[in-house]
Amino acid sequence: MHIISKTHIKKFAAENPQSLPAMEHIIDMLQRAKWKNVNEVRAIFPHADEVEVKSGRKVVVLNAGGNNWRVVVSFHYDRQKAFVLKIMSHAEYSRMKWKKVL
């Protein structure tokens, strides 16, 4: 897949150096992926959740770094594109405020 906003991931890793290995893993997995649906995503990321956000669209939330971070991605399987929308800590994710802005 082609990652849109790879610089967003790298910026997050620069601001949160402890996340660098996890973010590199996410980039590697997304670049190698040829997924057609969320079930194929779950073959690599078993805890991936498909969530409906305020816009009515569905996004996929990936756990990263041993459950420390969440990466919210909008997959366009037909175009093989992964739009990274938000990266946050587990605590920030749990507050669910992020769903209201996407």
Q: Which fold, 2-100?
A: YaeB-like fold (3.30.2310)
pTM of the model: 0.91
CB-based burial, 39-58: b 16+ in 10 Å, e otherwise: eebbeebeebeeeebeeeee
pLDDT profile of the chain (102 residues), mean per 10: 90 94 95 97 96 93 93 97 94 82 80
Domain ranges for the chain, please list them.
2-100
pLDDT at position 96 is 79
pLDDT at position 97 is 79
